[in-house]
Structure 1
């Protein structure tokens, strides 16, 4: 009989978190949720999750949400519900991550997931990583802490690559191929992208996601981040990581081997299988999602990436090769620009243009951050670069409006 794995779930009320709890609920003999963490914007949902899964610890990042969570837990619990400890504050998720659960699923969005990622790894937990930003901005800091096989990717593309890599030895790999939907503006040229509105950028053809991730998919910044993530996860050089546009998103990514064979992982454009594998790796659960229906005729397209219209991927490669704090600057500057775009302060192409300008200033000798480019020694250095990049992006955007 398989012993149930204990699970700590970070970002439990988000898309990844709610899907993970659904999977866990369907496999009660395989998993036991011991802790949940969330930002604290939906305390009722968090309390329902905690009561339904009889969770021992609940954490909320928002300082003002603690009492509301306790009240919601009290209102929804019954006499059979065990007492739940509530942690409050910006370090609450890190406290949960370092509890030593068998699996820590980090579904937090943004670079704030870095501390919990490192805490989970240091505690010896298997890290099911949906928070790509923590690996991107943390880079070597994260990989130096992680043991062999300790990080299991939950991004659909990286989960696909991890599955495909089972087909051969590391020395047999020629290149990794990440697939991209192309977003809602696939096929448009750069001039046409100047007319894009925020509401249009949020109309992803296949997924319903949050504002930042959906916009990143439209600019292809998300794919640039995934290139950096693939480099750190699989130890493959940037020259051996390619991107191809595949609008149907039925093939999630591929691995090409040195003998000319290509192994692809395919399935519906949903996150259920990657999340399930993050929880159960290296084993597979039963009946997680529906497989491809080969009885129906279908056509799948593959189109080269247009680097002129969508320069975000190439820019990410350059930041990744420079290493140090450059990937953190790329990520943070982009988040500031996405916010400005949705506030109507900059155009759609200006998102990546501004990120490029911030990266140039970062390494030009005119930035206090320049000395940090080549070597990263601790988390504070990364977070300092993150703060600098956001301020620099705002400065670049302000200068552009005054010209």
Structure 2
């Protein structure tokens, strides 16, 4: 049946200290309530409402939470693809915690909290183990993926059959990358790729090749390009993959003065292939930044005119467009600082922020923010 309301009633009854007899009194028999709680039968809507009212809970149904459900879907979509956009959805969802904790998205939201908690709390993981029978296939996948992320032992063959194993290694790699443990992250991505190849999971092979390319961008540009080209080959020259790969290479090369011409080559080629609206906006952003970096006033003005006025960088870009000495512009510095703090994983923003600090002799800020001396 998998009606989560029974589980939810049981959890809150125990939390408030009600016995089966006390909660069921005047509504149904204790044995009937026990069957509701253990999902052995589905009661009428009236009984659910009476039980929830007695627990003083304003329960929210999925139909009223379409946005929140979409945010949860988007968070995990971006998390698994290593896209920092997942952070934006995490912030939105945290603001809705009071509502989601009393809804039929309860389990989905608890799994989300596992992924976003700063500290691992085993009691939460053990508690969710009791909810597995209520989980749909997607929730089970995400739950076991998280458990695999924490498990240092060999991953069992059951994960191979469910295509979970390579994603466990991918998630471990993501976690190590956040800790700047690049060699360890590289090792996790490589293992994940080998298993994905073993089971013929080409989409994951492609994703992991892109991850390996990103790791190599910290050390060896040739190796980076090799992995990115492998992703293109695995995808059979898929336009979506090519445009993403070219965007990644172009963006990384913008952080190295000696590679600016290569950055332009990849960005100008990739934008011609790009069919994704969000990625297209990012291409426009980075081409504008390129023209600012090389001080081409004419081209940066033309590129600025192509940028959407609703773009989150628009104020900062306006200041960059006004003069070539934008690093000393107070509004530019303030906007850059604000945006960088919200997107600290963005290599290009880190580069611009570092340049700005050096230009304004804010050496203390550079040290405090742990910006690496690599530019």
Q: What TM-score, normalized to structure 1?
A: 0.29
Rg larger in structure? 2
More helix by share: 2
Normalised by the size of structure 2, how large is the TM-score?
Answer: 0.30
Higher strand share: 1
Flag the structure with more relative contact order, 1 or 2, with Cα contacts below 8 A and sequence separation at least 6: 1
